Amino acid sequence: MTQPDSASAPVPPVPPFLRDPAPMLARIRGQWAGHQAGGGCHADLWIFGYASLIWRPDFESTERHATRVHGWHRALKMWSRINRGTPERPGLVFALLPGGSCQGMVYRVPHREADAALAALWAREMPTGVYDPRWLPARTPRGEVRALAFTLSRRSEAFMGRIGDAQMLDILRHASGRYGSTLQYLAATAHALRERGVHDREVQRLMALAAEHGLV
């Protein structure tokens, strides 16, 4: 389920919102260490993926399950100046925004491999410290676990706000970064969701928009 966004934000010419990701990683590691006291499956690290972590997790897991988190929804509304764009021509990536719910995948990473997985995740997802990592409840066949997820505040200057289809098409045509283009990222996520039977109306709308203008 996707909720409309009432805020509007122009493209900031220079990213003034950079945060040091190291203290955030230390905080998450400390919180996860506290989770381990629960023992059993809680001793391992659980990670929730809703976009590229579905189709390219880049870490080993002993379990993976389809799940839904509540209180957050997937949205292509976070400016990307490294992974899917540049400072001169920002791209977009998905983030979890407050409201609604989101279907994705939850992964179980053994505790002995958790530190390495977190370090790799931070290098990939948190080069500028833009996301707000948090623990979200996710249901699994073993019961409810607390899974690490990358969320975004609407107050962040990395939040895109509302743009028209013309600007979205310009981003899809031209924005590209170290991992490829925004269009490739959107298409790969749409394909992964479709393979898993996940219906996301906004992702499908954006893909239809791209197809209508000959981009895919």
User: Could you tell me the residue ranges of all domains in the chain?
Assistant: 21-212
Q: What is the pTM of this model?
A: 0.89
pLDDT of residue 6: 39
Mean pLDDT of the region 10-34 = 77
Q: Which long-range contacts (CB under 8 A, 24 or more apart) does 119-123 make?
A: 119/25, 120/58, 120/59, 121/47, 121/58, 121/59, 121/148, 122/21, 122/24, 122/25
Q: How many CB atoms lie within 10 A of CB 27?
A: 11
Whole-angstrom distance, CA of residue 46 vs CA of residue 66: 13
Report d(CA 18, CA 25) in Å as an integer: 15
Mean pLDDT of 81-89: 94
Q: What pLDDT sits at residue 112?
A: 93
Range 21-212: architecture per CATH: Roll (3.10)
- Average pLDDT of the residues in 115-131: 93
**Structure tokens, 206:** 């954006």
Specify the pLDDT at position 43: 82
pLDDT at 38: 65
- Kindly state the helix (H) or strand (E) to which residue 101 belongs, with its residue range: strand 91-109
pLDDT at 168: 98
Mean pLDDT computed over 62-91 = 96
Residue 159 per-residue DSSP state: B
| Adjacent-strand bridge partners of 177 | 180
Give yes or no for residue 1 having a pLDDT over 60: no
Does 206 score more than 50 pLDDT?
yes
Distance of CA 116 to the CA centre of its chain: 19
- Measure the CA–CA gap between 193 and 51, rounded to whole angstroms: 8
CA distance to 54, 63, 89, 153, 168, per residue, from 82 (Å): 20, 30, 10, 19, 18
pLDDT, tens digit, for every residue of 24-39? Answer: 999 999 998 887 776 6
Whole-number pLDDT of residue 8: 42
Q: How far apart are CA 55 and CA 192, in angstroms?
A: 6
Give the confidence band of 166 by pLDDT, cuts at 50, 70, 90.
Answer: very high
Residue 9 confidence (pLDDT) above 80: no
User: Shortest CA distance to 153 belongs to which of 173, 133, 171, 169?
Assistant: 133
